[in-house]
Structure 1
Amino acid sequence: MGKRNYNVFFHLHTISGIIISAALFIIFFCGAFALIKDEITAWEKGDNVNMEVALDIDYDRAMQTLINDSINLTGRDIRMIPPDVKQEMFVGLTGSKVESASEKDLIPTYFNLNTRNYALSQYYDFYSIGELIYRLHFFHQIPTYGILTAGFIAFFFLLAIVSGLIVHWKKIVSNFYVFRPKTKLKTIWTDAHTALGVIGLPFQFMFALTSSFLCLSSLILILLNFAYDGHQKQAIEEIRPMQKTYAWEAETNNKIPSLNTFVERTKAKWPDFEAAQVYVKNYGGTNMKFQIDGLLKPNKAFLGHGRIVYDVMTNTITEEKNPENPGYIEIVELAIRRLHFGDFGGLYLKVIYFVLAIITCFVIISGVLIWLEARDKKHIPEKKRKFNSALGYFYMAVCMSLYPITAISMLVAKYIPRSLDAERQSILYAVFFIGWLLFTLFFSFRKNNYITTKYSLILGGLFGILVPIINGLISGNWMWKMYQQDQTAILFVDLFWIGISLISFGILLRMKKPV
């Protein structure tokens, strides 16, 4: 590579990395915890998890529960996502398509439905700290532009990865085996940055690519709108056929058949097929449809996506997509989603994803510290050196204080009584974001990255080790009881925090104060 091209890629790698560094750290740190957001929610609620019962959904009873809550379903499209560890099914309703529908019936709405006792609740009736962290990892708290911001950050991260790979290609193997702990600080950070960067490279590239797609997909739909001459509905139905809608014809005078029979027919047809989303379209209409979108079990196929659509009133199949022969377009999006969320390998894969995400956080921090060390030279004007140092202190404070405030928020989330569920989101927002701000300001004014790192690890470790203790004291869900009752989700969260805390204390023992 010529010197000019080398310099172009080197500066692209550096500038793109620095610009997005703090935001990228937040995305990966929060994304690591978001992997177990459902387990965290189950831990917070403290209710025993019984997925065998929760997944045996009575769709007729689910519809009746909505009707009993004074919801007029006629003319609506209903989307249901079967329960996860939280054991609650998401139910989303569009506005009614009936011309004479009341203003109330025209309003879309959504609920959570517990499929063990069929109790209906508002989506935000119980706001989990897991949900807060999950949404922070794509900046959902920033209205409208948050997810787009996360998407562009992921895109710049992709540029940083590709340009870094090009710059270091010739030495990437030899430098991987080099570690010089007794040399100057910049060299130590460089060696660590290179080694861990190479270890996590496939993971980082995969996440940069999938995040760019998921967060910027709305922009892709805008482009498709032009390609389809403004026929957005046609574009969406070809790219995402599960969202296909049907024009309302008329209300049926006949009794609506049992929806459960269609589920049983599907199970008999494809025994290894599991529903991912279930739709009822044009409820109560002469052309009412019951649609099941799902996947083959992970041990049968990684991308076995299928669909079946029944005409409810005629009891016939109107559309069928065999999961053994999935189409290209939907498979691409499915592969992106499965790789990103890691939902195909159980808790073991989530642990691997978590470790790789934390490694990526270290790579991000080490990259910034290399940049700061390179600019702490005598030939650089004093004013610029002070600015760079202040920027470094603030950056480390923002990133490192995420750890203790996450542990503290877990404890607060467990301590909030269920009688305050209505105020739960406000309380968690106040504790998490105000606490994070106070930690950031405190460490920034201390102007010492060693102190920032040390006390973040101490506080995070101490509060983290309290997580299983507080859980036992408040809900009685002690670890040995959860093990005996096979409550894997709740037990995993306790063990997870114990593991993180012990690693933090181990790092503290190895830390040496810089001379």
Structure 2
Amino acid sequence: MAKRNYNVFFHLHTVSGIIISAALFIIFFCGAFALIKDEITAWEKGENVDMEIASDVDYDRAMQTLEQEGLNLSGRDIRMIPPDVKQKMFVGLTGSKAKTASDEDKIATYYNLHTRKYELSTYYEFYSIGELIYRLHFFHQIPTYGIFIAGFIAFFFLLAIVSGIIIHWKKIVSNFYVFRPKAKLKTIWTDAHTALGVIGLPFQFMFALTSCFLCLSALVLLPINYVYNGDQEAALSELRPMQKTYEWEAETIKNIPSLNDLVEKTEAKWPDFEPAQVYIKNYGGTNMKFQIDGLLNPKEAFLGHGRIVYDVMTNTITEEKNPEDPGYAEVVEVAIRRLHFGDFGGLALKIIYFALAIITCFVILSGVLIWLEARDKKHIADKKRKFNRGLGYFYISVCMSLYPITALGMLVAKSLPRSLDLSRQYILYALFFIGWLLFTLIFSLRKNNYITTKYTLILGSIFGIFVPIVNGIVSGNWIWTMYQQNQTAILFVDLFWIVVSLISFGILMRMKKPV
């Protein structure tokens, strides 16, 4: 490669990496914990988890529960996402399309429905620390623009990965096996950065690419509108046919047939088919539709996406997409989502994803430290060196402070009494973001990366080791109790924090103060 081209790619890699480093660390760190957000919510509630698969949900009873809460369902489109470890089914309702609908009925709304007790709750009735971390993962706390910021960070990360591969290509294999622990500091960080970067490379590339798609898909769809002459409905009907809507005709005078029968009919037709989203279009109308979108069991097919649409009043199939012949357009999105969320391999895959995400966090931090060491030279002006060091202290403080505040957040979230459920979001937001800011300011002003790393690991480890203890004291869910009751989700969170804390203590024991 020509020297000029090498320098261009080298600076592209360095600049893009430094600009996004702190934000990218937040995305990967929070994304690692977001993998188990449902398990964290179950752990917080302390209720025994009795999982129910989507095909076992009583959809007739679900509709009755909504009506008993005083909701007028006539003319609405209803979207249901079957239950997860939280045992809650998401129920989203559009505004009614019926001409006689009141102003209140024309307002869209959404709820959570407990699929064991069939009790309705709002989104904010129980706000979990897992949900907070998950939403921070794509900067949801920044209204409107947060998800786009996360998308552009993912795009710059993609640039950093590609440019990094280009500049290291010739020595990528040989450098992978090089580690010089007795060399100067910049060399140690460079060796670690290269080795761990190569280990996590496929994972990082996959996440950068899928994040761009998930966060920036709304922008990608803009030029597509021109192909369809501005007809968004026509574009979405081809790209996302699950969102297809139907004109409201008239309210039926007949009793609505059982929706459960249609689920059983689908299960008999495709035995390995698992509903992922269930839709009811034009509820209570003469042209009411019941739609099931789902996937074949991952053991049978990774991308077996299918759909079936019934006309409820005539009990006939109006549309069918065989999951064994999934096509291309929708499968791309399914593949991206499955790869990104890692929801096809159980807890074992989530553990692998978590480890790779933390490795990526180390790669990000080591990149910052390499940059700092390279710019702490005598020939560089004192003002610039001082600014670079200050920026480095701030970056490391922001990133490392996430560990103790996350562990502390877990302890506080578990300790909050259920009488404060309606205030949980405000309490957790105040604790998490104010605490994170205080940790960041304290360590930034300390101006010592060794001290920052040491004490954030100590605090995070101590808080983390108390997670199973507080769980046992507050809810009686001691590790041995959860093991005996086969409560895998709750037990996993306790064991997870014990392992993370022990690893942190192990790192602390190996740390040596720089000379």
Kindly state the Cα deviation for residue 55 of structure 1 after the two structures are TM-superposed.
Answer: 6.0
Q: Distance in 2 between matches of 1:23 and 1:237?
A: 35
TM-score (norm 1): 0.99
Q: Superposed, which structure 2 residues align to 1:182-261 within 5 Å?
A: 182-261=182-261
Structure 2 counterpart of 1:363, which letter? V
| Correspondence for 1:394 | 394
Kindly state the Cα deviation for residue 124 of structure 1 after the two structures are TM-superposed.
Answer: 1.5
| Correspondence for 1:306 | 306
Q: Distance in 1 between matches of 2:43 and 2:116?
A: 17
Structure 1 counterpart of 2:256, which letter? I
Q: Distance in 2 between matches of 1:310 and 1:366?
A: 55
**What is the identity percentage for the equivalent residue pairs of Structure 1 and Structure 2?**
81
- The answer (yes or no) to whether the contact 1:54–1:115 under 8 Å persists in 2 is no
Kindly state the Cα deviation for residue 327 of structure 1 after the two structures are TM-superposed.
Answer: 1.4
Q: Would you say 1:480 and 2:480 are equivalent positions?
A: yes
Q: 1:440 to 1:184 in 2, by over 3 A?
A: same
Q: Superposed, which structure 2 residues align to 1:170-181 within 5 Å?
A: 170-181=170-181
- The answer (yes or no) to whether the contact 2:295–2:306 under 8 Å persists in 1 is yes
Q: Distance in 2 between matches of 1:387 and 1:189?
A: 21
Structure 1 counterpart of 2:261, which letter? T
Kindly state the Cα deviation for residue 52 of structure 1 after the two structures are TM-superposed.
Answer: 3.6
- The answer (yes or no) to whether the contact 1:16–1:157 under 8 Å persists in 2 is yes
| Correspondence for 1:276 | 276
Q: Superposed, which structure 2 residues align to 1:394-433 within 5 Å?
A: 394-433=394-433
Q: Distance in 1 between matches of 2:17 and 2:189?
A: 15
Q: Distance in 2 between matches of 1:327 and 1:128?
A: 38
Q: Distance in 1 between matches of 2:506 and 2:436?
A: 24
Q: 1:272 to 1:218 in 2, by over 3 A?
A: same
Q: Distance in 2 between matches of 1:317 and 1:298?
A: 26
Unaligned regions of 5+ residues in structure 1, if any?
none
| Correspondence for 1:452 | 452
Q: Superposed, which structure 2 residues align to 1:133-152 within 5 Å?
A: 133-152=133-152
Unaligned regions of 5+ residues in structure 2, if any?
none
Q: Distance in 2 between matches of 1:124 and 1:172?
A: 49
Kindly state the Cα deviation for residue 454 of structure 1 after the two structures are TM-superposed.
Answer: 0.1
SS at structure 2 position matched to 1:90: strand
Could you give the per-residue CA deviations for residues 275-324 of structure 1, whole angstroms, max 9, x where no partner exists?
00000000000000000000001100000000000000011000000100
Kindly state the Cα deviation for residue 168 of structure 1 after the two structures are TM-superposed.
Answer: 0.3
| Correspondence for 1:490 | 490
Structure 1 counterpart of 2:438, which letter? L
- The answer (yes or no) to whether the contact 2:55–2:274 under 8 Å persists in 1 is no
Structure 2 counterpart of 1:35, which letter? L
Could you give the per-residue CA deviations for residues 354-387 of structure 1, whole angstroms, max 9, x where no partner exists?
0000000000000010001000000000011000
Q: Distance in 2 between matches of 1:337 and 1:53?
A: 20
Q: Distance in 2 between matches of 1:53 and 1:316?
A: 25
Q: Would you say 1:50 and 2:50 are equivalent positions?
A: yes
Kindly state the Cα deviation for residue 53 of structure 1 after the two structures are TM-superposed.
Answer: 7.3
Could you give the per-residue CA deviations for residues 382-407 of structure 1, whole angstroms, max 9, x where no partner exists?
01100000001011000000000000
Could you give the per-residue CA deviations for residues 75-119 of structure 1, whole angstroms, max 9, x where no partner exists?
000000000000000000000001221000000000000010100
After superposing on structure 2, the runs of 4+ consecutive aligned residues of structure 1 that deviate more than 6 Å are: none
| Correspondence for 2:102 | 102
User: RMSD across aligned C-alpha pairs, in angstroms?
Assistant: 0.7
- The answer (yes or no) to whether the contact 2:224–2:235 under 8 Å persists in 1 is yes
Structure 1 counterpart of 2:375, which letter? R
| Correspondence for 1:24 | 24
SS at structure 1 position matched to 2:124: coil
- The answer (yes or no) to whether the contact 2:200–2:360 under 8 Å persists in 1 is yes
Structure 1 counterpart of 2:390, which letter? A
Could you give the per-residue CA deviations for residues 329-362 of structure 1, whole angstroms, max 9, x where no partner exists?
0000000000000000000000000000000000
Q: Superposed, which structure 2 residues align to 1:154-169 within 5 Å?
A: 154-169=154-169
SS at structure 2 position matched to 1:106: coil
Q: Distance in 1 between matches of 2:236 and 2:53?
A: 35
SS at structure 1 position matched to 2:378: coil
Structure 1 counterpart of 2:272, which letter? D
Q: Distance in 2 between matches of 1:72 and 1:223?
A: 38
Could you give the per-residue CA deviations for residues 414-459 of structure 1, whole angstroms, max 9, x where no partner exists?
0011110000000000000000000000000000000000000000
| Correspondence for 2:112 | 112
Q: Distance in 2 between matches of 1:83 and 1:446?
A: 47
Q: Distance in 1 between matches of 2:55 and 2:291?
A: 17
Q: Distance in 2 between matches of 1:249 and 1:22?
A: 53
Q: Distance in 1 between matches of 2:186 and 2:167?
A: 18
Kindly state the Cα deviation for residue 227 of structure 1 after the two structures are TM-superposed.
Answer: 1.8
| Correspondence for 1:440 | 440
Q: Distance in 2 between matches of 1:463 and 1:341?
A: 27
SS at structure 1 position matched to 2:175: helix
Q: 1:210 to 1:344 in 2, by over 3 A?
A: same
- The answer (yes or no) to whether the contact 2:306–2:321 under 8 Å persists in 1 is yes
Kindly state the Cα deviation for residue 54 of structure 1 after the two structures are TM-superposed.
Answer: 7.7
Structure 2 counterpart of 1:157, which letter? F
Could you give the per-residue CA deviations for residues 149-188 of structure 1, whole angstroms, max 9, x where no partner exists?
0000000000000000000000000000000000100000
| Correspondence for 2:127 | 127
Kindly state the Cα deviation for residue 237 of structure 1 after the two structures are TM-superposed.
Answer: 1.1
Could you give the per-residue CA deviations for residues 9-59 of structure 1, whole angstroms, max 9, x where no partner exists?
111101100110000000000000000000000000000001147862110
TM-score (norm 2): 0.99
Count, aligned residues: 515
